[in-house]
Structure 1
Amino acid sequence: MVVAREHEGTSQTPAERRPGAGEVAAALLRALPAEIVRTDTTTRAAYASDGSVFRQVPAAVVLPRDADDVAGALEAARETGAPVVSRGGGTSIAGNAISEGVVLDFSRHMDRIVSIDPDARTAVVQPGVVLDDLRAAAERHGLTFGPDPSTHSRCTLGGMIGNNACGSHSVRWGTTADNVIGLRGLLADGRPFDAGRGTSGDPAVDAELIRLRDAHLASLRTGLGRFSRQVSGYGLHHLLPENGFDVAKALVGSESTCAIVTEATVRLVPSPPVRLLVVFGFPDVFEAATAAADLARCDVLTVEGMADDLIQALRSRPGRAGAGSELPPGRGWLYCEVGGQDREEALERAARTAAVVRERFPEAGERIVRDPAEARALWRIREAGAGIAARMADGGEAWANWEDSAVPVDNLAAYLRDLYDLMAEHGLRGIPYGHFGEGCLHLRCDFDLHTDRGLAAYRAFMNAAADLVTGHGGSVSGEHGDGRARSELLARMYPSELLDAFAQFKGVFDAERRLNPGVLVDPDPLDAALRPGPGHDRLDLLPVHALSTDGGSFARAVGRCVGVGACRNLHTGSMCPSFKATRDEVHSTRGRARVLAEMLRGETLTDGWRSTEVREALDLCLSCKACASDCPVEVDMATYKAEFLHRHYARRLRPMAHLSMGWLPVWSRLVTAAAPVARATNALLARPRVAALVKRAGGIEPRRRMIRFAETTLRRWMRRRGPAQAAPGAVGTAGKRTGGSSAGTEQIYNVKETASPTPSPRDDRPAVVLWPDTFTNFHEPGTGRAAVEVLEALGYRVELPAGSVCCGLTWHSTGQLGMVRRALRHALDALEVQLAAGYPVVGLEPSCTVMLRDEVRELLPDDPRARRLAEQTTTLAELVAEHEGEWPFGRLDAAAVAQVHCHQEAKGSYGADLAVLRRLGVDPDVIGSGCCGLAGNFGFERGHWEVSQSCAERELYPKVRAAAAEDVILADGFSCRTQITQGTDRTGSHLAEVLRTALRPDRPEKETRD
């Protein structure tokens, strides 16, 4: 019999004997090619967690290419007794994609859509296929895959099958189990299976399953399948005769505890050509939950709900104060999507749906969203719920685990009221949202998972919540599986007879309990192996950055990453460019956060801030800051990288790239001190042998062309223009120092030598300060000259700071934070009078503008001048767009390719730029792939060439190469223009240069704005 199969190689079960990582690695390398076996500590740390709060450091990670590789991994696991778990996108919230043994990551290679049969409406896929890729392929035939969790852009079909994922459209198209036709793969002992309706593909297994089923017929019929979102435990009701003895469906939701799936046949459904979103607003979330039951019975595709708590948490984020303003009034909302063959049919269904709500809930507001872009923006709020809910409106942490409960939809409002009462009784707060139309509720609570006392309170709440949901006829899990979060609670939900049936079912497929032990059967305690548990932050130190939104704690900042995996989006968004290039979990924002967390814990990575493993994980981070905005919880890996490098190299020799490029402001100033020196330097660097020697000495990528130095800097050009045109320098500030700068900084910045002359007292134009960043001042002063002419044409008097200044960007990106703070203090000294006078500070280089607006407050939090500088800094586009006076520009009527600087996209807005371009008659095709790939020093550092070019080849290079000769190539960032020049036969232009081109020679006295 299968259940009685003896264990091969040892008499101990995997739970009793955990082999060492070296033993597992050796066995895997004997069975598999080395290139698909990852046993390095960095990788193991990156895979230590998924989207949950649990942590298990694996012995090894395998990236299988086919079923034979899976068989080899299973053979090695049998040899060593190591447990095995399957993993897709790693977005599991319940902790069902981690293991102390072997992790099989199917997302890297086994990601092929084998076939689509539009007539049969089926698709055959490998487990690593990303859901959105399948949906895009099916959409060409007017079809889609119905279940669509909010992680649809990165979750895999294998993960969805493992967890029985559902998503917002399951109210119409059901769970993943409802849409699976057949599964193929391997059992733990290496035997193949081919499960479907009526068979597992193995007569012996079928016989065991039939005996199991017949022994528990009454329990299976009364205890399972009672409502659509009852997914806790195994789906044994699919084995019932009336359900066709469907073994494939029974295996869906088994969380990799029974078998390893290598191929699946799934059902596709017709996709409505037109979809419209109807949003309803209710006085509170309880009325929204009551209305959900009525709407679920309407002809709708979704009934998604959320409470005001979620919107308030979102609005608490920087720059998101107006989020959700498009929602109708209320404190609870439902998203109802309707479909139709054409717009008229969709509108008719939307109207009918709205009429149902108006009849029963007269106080509800409604809004039919006709604009697809606006609908997409509203959906993003709902889909980002897991990340948004991870931080309360006051910044408090909130955690999953009671994240996925479900009740019959008619019971939802009562259950939700009781759940709020239970949270209040336990002194907890939470943010509810979810699939209200099917009674499924997502909720993150502000558990204290950091202390022993907090863990005891957490356990007490989880047990009480399990009793509560069971009392409402519900399930502790509604779609994400039980995992380590809720498997222990199955004993509170199901009678012992069903628990015995679950154990027998696992035994049929995995007699030795080697596959994902601790989940569903013989569960691990729900408070064991918690990632944020006591001791997770033993190496936490006072950071240089204030980390104001994280209470000054580096550990808490790193802990922002809850693992939702938005950084793994391959085709959309700006985050994370290095992962998009390598598809390596280590190079995702989440992977790096996990490695940093392991460093802080000090168990797997024991060298602390000196860790080479962390340095390697951070090496390919471009510091583009996309994660600071694209990540739902705003993980800012660029800042964490700077903090790590600052400590890693403290009192140690730094790489030459940190000296050659980190200190670029100093070298640039020295080289451009005199025109002959700059001219001679450029001539020498143009010689291949000299350039090669310099690049080798400076740690610079040999395939890069060296940048040039300006013979006439922007400052020198301003001085030569004379005070009448330049109107530089605030009166009385030339050469003045107000303290706060160190002697070292004074040597770097010779203030008196470069101070600007006093302006003419007759010049009463409003003043602006042009920030002379390193790149504009010393390398491409033409951009600065164009900006001066444009600003003067707008009626401004242009000043420069009183002396050479630098925001410290290049020091920041190389982790030389002491120099950054000194540079910023000096800048505040040089700007003090102008800031006090309220002059706007105009930034031309987007990365420097972000330093002045954002980083200065984090690095100098106690200096009131820093806050003033942040508030008064503006971009040229913002100043031009808000200008109310004479409009001195003509129309260009041109097309353009526009590369938005990654820092501007992450920490600012391109809205003002678009407004100005529209007024100029420039139609920009805005690059949507994020960072250009050069990213300051990153693309110039040796070893980064391939990733840098891969980033540019995603969209930037192809669009620039395809642009017509007369099209404008727009790029405000010096790095972006350098990447374009060195990677194509085109050159990029700054907005200032485009505006100067558009200046009218006969500027009118007055022209109102359009």
Structure 2
Amino acid sequence: MVLTAVGELAGIATLVSELRAQGIDVDDSARRRSEYSYDASNYRVRPAAVAFPKTVDDVRAILRGCNGSGVPVTTRGGGTSMAGNAVGEGLIVDLSRWMTAVGEIDPESQTLWVEAGVVLGELRSRVEKSTAGEFTFAPDPSSLTRATIGGSIGNDACGNHSVAYGRMTHHVVEVDLVTADGAYLRAGRDGLRAVDDDPRSMARADELNTELTSLVQAHLAPLRTELRTIPRQVSGYHLGELLPEQGFDVARALAGSEGTCAIIVRARVALVPKPRTTALLCLGYESTVESARDVMTILAAGPSAIEGLDLSIVEIMRHRRGASSVDALPRGNAYLMVEFSADTIDAARAECEQLLERLRHDGRAVDHSIVTEPTLRAKLWRVREDGAGLSSRRLDGIQTWPGWEDSAVAPERLAGYLEELMALVDRFGYSAFVYGHFGAGCVHMRLDFDLRSGPGREVYEDFTREAAALVVAHGGSLSGEHGDGRARSELLDVMYSGEMIALFRAFKHAWDPTGVLNPGIIVDPEPFTASLALEGLPAPVESRTHLTLADPFVGNLHACIGVGRCRATSGGFMCPSYRATKDEKDSTRGRARVLQELVRSTGGSREGWSNPEVRDALDLCLSCKACSSDCPTGVDIAEAKSELLDDHYRGRLRPFTHYSIGWLPRWLPLLTKIAGPTNIASRNRALRRVGEWLGVSARRTLPAFVAERKIRRRISEAGFSDEADILIFADSFTRAFRPEVIPAAARVLTESGSTVGCTPDACCGLTWISTGQREGARRRLRRLIDRFDDGTDRAIVVLEPSCAAAIRDEGPKLVGGDAAQRVAKRVRSFAVAIDEALARGWKPSATPPEQAILQTHCHEHAVFGSESQRRALKGWGVADVVESSSCCGVAGNFGFEAEHFDVSMKVAEHSIRPALESGPGAPVLTDGFSCAMQVGQIDASRGSSHLATLLDPGRTPR
């Protein structure tokens, strides 16, 4: 074994220097080490450095250096391990940033080569596109949008459809790997061979083939009796794949090895035919155990998926994302989601109905629904896919943790196992969120362990040991797809004989004699109670009004458990800066981890908040607020950034942009009075260069200010009534830059059957919030609330969605009190108001276009959701709505700042630019002023419209 001192590794500084001299990107900064101190598990291990190889030669150089200097190596993909497989004290090797090449599909074998850093979801999309939807890549764990090929092979991941497609093992044909001593080998059926003509690689292949063959031949009996006993036996090494009857398949034997034997750099994976269509049968039950009793009946019907979840997760989803997110589920306290694939939707529905008839005979299901509409199916699947994140916090705020989240038994024993497991949970006084791949007998759960206190950890250890004995008594596996990692490796001797444990040790030693590869995992394990991240930490307290020394957990950052949805490159708005840079530091998770480490190291002292590492981590945060809704655990980095800026600059001179853009609503009354000269000045090159020096980008097209007299005329056109049943809030930005929206909105709302009035003038303080001037924001919000709280419950329709979001979300937090709550409840974005009117049966008189491009403002997405605008356009009659599914890149002051302009435009490449290119003649809907600015920046000849002006019954159709 490698002998290292905790915290400092001998030779690491020399190794880092040597690797950098070879052109390899190695980062040993404190900030980077903080980002990689965690994965999605309960564990924290601070690494010495992080390497980002770009080629196989880089990986070979890294391993030779580490092997020679005794520095441990932990390979990492998406960092979504829940068992602690992807943290280590030596060198973290992150393959996800650069090793992302995808080869061409071999049409004969329907296989292709992919590098280890390729994200599963991206591979699947590419395959489906290149085969016109004929083929796909099957494994689909819930982390599909950020888990990598290498990491998924390392854990032997599965997913929702493992009933039909099995584990990752079953889709790996060959792997290219680098051994600890730098040999470059290819593993597959019939053993290993050298990839190159390096004599060292050829010799190493021969050596390993001989040693592994001898190992198998000497222990045939235990390999045949202890391994491959249930569908989800993932714990330990897959040595059964080396048996003669299995073809001595070394590639499959390495699946689930968790980076302890070699670094897999490429894999040849098999594709499967893509189902033409699917139908989803949702079944409601009285309990999770009752649902498990129907699994064997359902399996006999041949579904492609059987997924289970309990009511507690559904309630969290309802609380976090609204009743509409779960409204298609049937009645029940537990659910099974059963999917059938077929050539036609009618055939798939018929399969659902035939199974339902058989289940009625048993009488356990209390309700059901059959879902065939694709959007509704996707919405229901999201409840299941977000289970781990959603269940990380109970409704009462108590956090839950993994630890016993991945046990598996044979499906026919699932009900009995669950019955005893839930009794064990009750006996220890825990509460559990239960979900899982019930068709494969795999149970995921999160429990409210106390991992902070000594007594709590002792109880956790006692529970885990009893749970391990229980699953083994049911013939099961400690791990069903997450691997053993730090959470379960110590318990393998409960599951396997001493002879098998010795075989595992021999297998590991054959590959890694010096023990540098992910030490302490599977073989010679560390105690599962060691390196727990919460040990010694106080319970978190969420800050809501102002940062204090005793209240350091701003932005709910401590809720981050490493799920990594912020690293997804598709689906949802989070996280635009990560999508632009592909750097962990620019993800919500990376930022939260840096701040968590700061709290740990400083105890929340004010000195720590000025740390340059923190500023670096938060620098590219656009304050888009998407993380507050898209992050399954609700981390709000925009709030954290605002609080940190507020703390840092209190009593200090701020950047120029904080006074110019941050105070813009204060300047607008003056600037609109002198709109002509102001607009001329904003186009002056010399003044723009001065502005660039002060921090306002000279490359950003600035908005044209509207003259005050034109603003007054537009407001008078609205014909506001004093006896109104709905009020319009004409915010500062709409008044100064798009006043034509005000009368248009009034006409639309009037046509919808409302009497429309106008709120008093006020400011929501949004720009003060985004620049961290929270006291100024609080004053403005308090004045606004005082003026708006008029004793009625009339809806307040805010034309600028970011202002609507600020009043709804920030008012109760910054100001507090009943009045803030009353006003917040009355606030609607314009799209929400229109959606409500359409639901009442109103039909706009304006002629809808055939196609429209929709850019939802990220603040509206975060606070009100994206569905209202989409439903409004569809309800109006727009046949084709092309959605930009991410932040536009401006997000308030960010896109106007000189140092952020390039990233702002890079963010636009992800979604809004492709959306614009997809419909060159279609109207572009940008209710958000920032979004409108970005559209104009991308294409100066392309205008965009507020929903009010599109629906305006007085507009002239184009």
TM-score by length of 2: 0.92
Alignment of 1:258-273 (within 5 A): 258-273=261-276
Q: Which residue of 2 aligns with 1:825?
A: 782
Cα distance in 1 for partners of 2:871, 2:345 equals 30
Pair 210,13 (structure 1): closer, same or farther in 2 beyond 3 Å: farther
Q: In the alignment, what sits opposite 1:25?
A: 16
Query: Does residue 406 of structure 2 align to residue 404 of structure 1?
Result: yes
The equivalent of 2:305 in structure 1 is 302
Contact 1:423 1:429 (8 Å CA) reproduced = yes
User: 1:565, 1:998 → 2: CA distance?
Assistant: 47
Residue identity matched to 2:895: G
**Paired residues of 1:567 and 1:590 also in contact (CA < 8 A):** yes
**Equivalent position SS for 1:250:** helix
Match of 1:527 in 2: 529
2:898 equivalent among 942, 952, 958: 942
Q: 1:587 aligns to what?
A: 586
SS of 2:191's equivalent in the other structure is: coil
Candidates 705, 708, 725, aligned match of 1:709 = 705
Contact 1:31–1:76 (CA under 8 A) maintained in structure 2: no
Q: Residue type of the partner of 1:687?
A: N
Which 5+ residue runs of structure 1 have no aligned equivalent? 1-6, 728-762, 1002-1010
Find the counterpart in structure 2 of residue 173 from structure 1.
165
- The corresponding residue for 2:924 is 969
User: What is the alpha-carbon distance in structure 2 between the residues aligned to residue 368 and residue 510 of structure 1?
Assistant: 52
- The answer to whether structure 1 residue 779 and structure 2 residue 737 are counterparts is yes
CA contact (8 A) 2:325 2:380 kept: no
Name stretches of at least 5 consecutive residues in structure 2 with no aligned partner.
Answer: 194-204
Deviation at 1:554, TM superposition (A): 1.9
Render the CA deviation track for 1:500-551: whole Å, top value 9, x for unaligned. 111111100011110011111121221222223323779x78552699xxx9
1:279 Cα offset (Å): 2.2
For the Cα contact (< 8 Å) 2:135–2:273, is it kept in 1?
yes
Partner secondary structure for residue 659 of structure 2: helix
**Distance in 2 (alpha carbons) for counterparts of 1:110 and 1:274:** 33
- Describe the SS at the equivalent of 2:123: helix
Distance 1:719 1:999, change over 3 A: closer
CA contact (8 A) 1:537 1:555 kept: no
Q: Return the letter of the residue paired with 1:939.
A: G
Tell me which amino acid in the other structure corresponds to 2:612. Answer: T
Distance of aligned partners of 1:176 and 1:879 in 2 relative to their CA distance in 1, 3 Å threshold: closer
Q: Corresponding residue for 2:141?
A: 149
- The residue type paired with residue 181 of structure 2 is D
Counterpart position of 2:369: 367
Equivalent residue, structure 2, for 1:394: 396
The reply to whether residue 872 of structure 1 matches residue 813 of structure 2 is: no
How has the CA–CA distance of structure 1 residues 794 and 262 changed in structure 2, closer, same or farther, with 3 Å as cutoff? closer
Q: Aligned equivalents of 2:340 and 2:750: distance in 1? A: 54
Identify which of 183, 191, 205 aligns with 1:199.
191
Q: Secondary structure at the match of 2:708?
A: coil
The correspondence of residues 264-343 of structure 1 with structure 2, limited to 5 A, is: 264-317=267-320, 319-343=321-345
Residue identity matched to 1:481: G
Residues 1:696 and 2:652 are matched in the alignment = no
Please list the CA deviations of residues 285-335 of structure 1 after superposition, one character each: whole Å capped at 9, or x if unmatched.
Answer: 112111112322332211211122221222232x42344231233222222
Q: Secondary structure at the match of 1:113?
A: coil
Q: Please give the per-residue CA displacement for 1:57-101, whole angstroms capped at 9, x wherever unaligned.
A: 222222211110101111231343211111111111111111221
Q: Kindly report the root-mean-square deviation, in angstroms, between the aligned alpha carbons of the 2 structures.
A: 2.8
Q: Aligned with 2:785: secondary structure?
A: helix
Q: CA deviation at 1:252?
A: 1.0
AA partner of residue 591 (structure 2): R
Q: Is 867-876 or 477-486 further displaced after alignment?
A: 867-876
Task: Check whether the contact 1:718–1:726 (CA below 8 A) recurs between aligned residues.
Answer: no
Separation in 2, partners of 1:115, 1:401: 40
Distance 1:794 1:535 in 2: 55
Distance across 2 between alignment mates of 1:608 and 1:616: 13
Task: Report the CA distance between 1:192 and its aligned residue.
Answer: 2.2
Determine helix, strand or coil for the equivalent of 2:925. strand
Change in Cα spacing, 1:466 to 1:839, as seen in structure 2 (3 Å) is same
**Which of 87, 97, 100 is 1:98 aligned to?**
87
In 2, Cα distance between equivalents of 1:923 and 1:236: 55
Structure 2 residue 659 is matched with structure 1 residue 648: no
Mark the CA change 1:109 to 1:656 in structure 2 (over 3 Å): closer, same or farther.
Answer: same
Shift of 1:190: 1.0
Deviations 1:154-211 (A, max 9, x none): 2111111100111122222221122222222111111222222221331211222223
1:745 maps to none
Q: Which residue of 1 aligns with 2:762?
A: 805
| Distance in 2 of aligned mates of 1:991 and 1:692 | 35
Give the structure 1 partner of residue 798 of structure 2: 843
8 Å CA contact retained: 1:46, 1:594: yes
Is the counterpart of residue 544 in structure 1 residue 545 in structure 2?
Answer: yes
Query: 1:224 corresponds to which residue?
Result: 227
Residues 413, 620 of structure 1: alpha-carbon distance in 2 compared, 3 angstrom cutoff: same
Deviations 1:16-55 (A, max 9, x none): 982375444223213333xx32233222221211111211
The reply on whether 1:994 has 2:942 as its aligned counterpart is: no
Residue identity matched to 1:658: H
The 3-state SS of whatever aligns with 1:602 is helix
Check whether the contact 2:313–2:387 (CA below 8 A) recurs between aligned residues. yes
C-alpha distance in 1 between matches for 2:290 and 2:875: 46
Q: Label 1:19 to 1:774 Cα distance change in 2 as closer, same or farther (>3 A).
A: farther
Q: Which residue number in structure 2 is paired with residue 608 of structure 1?
A: 608
- 3-state secondary structure, aligned to 2:294: helix
Kindly provide the amino acid, as one letter, of the partner of residue 499 in structure 2: E
SS at match of 2:645: helix
Letter in 1 for 2:820: A
> What is the alpha-carbon distance in structure 2 between the residues aligned to residue 98 and residue 821 of structure 1?
41
For residue 108 of structure 2, what is the aligned residue in structure 1? Answer: 119
Once the two structures are TM-superposed, the CA of residue 118 in structure 1 deviates from its matched residue by: 2.9
Amino acid at match of 2:210: A
Aligned counterpart, 2:938: 983
Match of 2:46 in 1: 57
In the alignment, what sits opposite 2:493?
Answer: 491
2:305 partner SS: coil
- Answer with 1 or 2: which has the greater Rg: 1
- C-alpha change, 1:779 and 1:311, in structure 2 (3 Å) is same
The separation in 2 between residues aligned to 1:720 and 1:194, in whole angstroms, is 76
Task: Give 3-state SS (helix, strand or coil) of 1:842's partner.
Answer: strand
CA distance in 2, matches of 1:658, 1:194: 56
Offset of residue 887 of structure 1: 7.1
- How many angstroms does 1:919 deviate by? 5.6
Equivalent pair of 2:715/2:739 in contact (CA under 8 Å): no
1-structure distance, mates of 2:598, 2:318? 32
Asked whether the equivalents of residues 609 and 644 of structure 2 are also in contact (C-alpha less than 8 Å), the reply is yes
Q: TM-score, normalised on structure 1?
A: 0.88
Instruction: Give the whole-Å Cα distance in 2 for the aligned partners of 1:67 and 1:888.
Output: 60
CA contact (8 A) 1:275 1:339 kept: yes
Tell me how far apart the structure 2 counterparts of residues 168 and 880 of structure 1 sit (CA, whole Å): 37
Partner of 1:88: 77
Between the aligned partners of 2:223 and 2:621, the Cα distance in structure 1 is: 51
Shift, 1:253, TM fit: 0.6
C-alpha distance in 2, partners of 1:824/1:864? 14
Give 3-state SS (helix, strand or coil) of 1:150's partner: coil
Residues 580 and 880 of structure 1: is their aligned pair in 2 closer, same or farther, counting only changes over 3 Å? closer
Output the CA distance in 2 between the equivalents of 1:494 and 1:703: 65
Amino acid at match of 1:27: E
Q: Secondary structure at the match of 1:278?
A: strand
Residues in 1 aligned to 2:552 and 2:258: alpha-carbon distance in whole angstroms: 35
Q: CA deviation at 1:482?
A: 0.4
Q: 1:712 to 1:477 in 2, by over 3 A?
A: same
Q: Which amino acid aligns with 1:811?
A: W
**Could you say which residue in structure 2 is the equivalent of 1:637?**
637
1:251 is aligned to: 254
1:368, CA displacement in angstroms? 2.7
Q: CA deviation at 1:896?
A: 2.3
